[in-house]
Amino acid sequence: MNKRMIVLVAILSIIMIASGCGSGGGSGRYTIPPEIPTPGTGGGGGGGGGTGETDIDALILSGWEDFKYGAYSSAINKFNQALTSTAISNTQKIEAYNGLGWSLTRSTGVESGFSAFSQAATTNNESRVGLAAALIQRGQKDGFAQAVKLLEEVGLRENSTTFSAKNPIGVSNAEAHAMLAWCYFWTGDTARAATKINFARSIEQSNDSSVTQIYNSLVALGLKFNN
């Protein structure tokens, strides 16, 4: 296998992580229920149909429910609806952009979530991971350096840090650490790349996992390990 193909295999593994098809769960194969009603748009209650501050929280929660069941178009609509409200707070805006980024990623690919992730990555760890995945897909040196910064802001430089997503984005702790190992390698920090990928494998040992695919690609590219 030539170097280009090795790199493509690893990047595909990282794209699969972001798309919920890695070892972290969330394959997207769900039975989709009837669409969860958007708060303030139907039925008996409350009158007016406007989106107040309380309804924004409900919209975001409802968007994640749709996301969980694979109804990504509906989730996108709800997160966008929350973002168009004049009553939205900064905290809610971050949450809505994060949900929008992951819904777009699942719907049409991680690159489509880039802008939304960029809006939320200042404070949201899930968006930092999503934005890092988008930068890795681009395969540019500056992007790898930026991805390292994002993943280290999550705390993943330390093996003692466990990445645990609040929402069902399907990225495991091992996968997040493996992404950072890949970025370390491409920024020239091979010693840290070796340490990090070994740690990721120690907590995710399945032979067909995305972590193992990334490990195998790094080995094939010449990463050396100190025994």
Q: Do the domain assignments include residue 20?
A: no
Number of domains in the chain: 1
Q: Which residue has the tokens 């991680």?
A: 110
Range of the domain at 70: 3-14+50-220
Contacts from 42-49 at CB under 8 Å and sequence distance 24+? Answer: none
Q: Do the domain assignments include residue 62?
A: yes
From 13, 14, 5, 2, select the one nearest 129 (Cα to Cα).
14
Q: Do the domain assignments include residue 22?
A: no
Give the domain CATH number at 195. 1.25.40.10
Q: Do the domain assignments include residue 199?
A: yes
Q: Both tokens of residue 79? A: 């997160």
116 neighbors 97 (Cβ within 8 angstroms): yes
Q: Do the domain assignments include residue 225?
A: no
223 neighbors 184 (Cβ within 8 angstroms): no
Q: Do the domain assignments include residue 141?
A: yes
Q: Do the domain assignments include residue 132?
A: yes
Residue 101: CB atoms within 10 Å = 30
Q: Do the domain assignments include residue 129?
A: yes
Query: Each residue's pLDDT tens digit in the chain (227 positions)?
Result: 566 666 666 666 777 777 766 655 433 333 334 444 455 544 433 334 444 445 999 999 999 999 999 999 999 999 999 999 999 999 999 999 999 999 999 999 999 999 999 999 999 999 999 999 999 999 888 999 999 999 999 999 999 999 999 999 999 999 999 999 999 999 999 999 999 999 999 998 888 889 999 999 999 999 998 86
Cα–Cα distance between 206 and 217 in angstroms, integer?
A: 15
Query: Rounded to two decimals, what is the model's pTM?
Result: 0.84
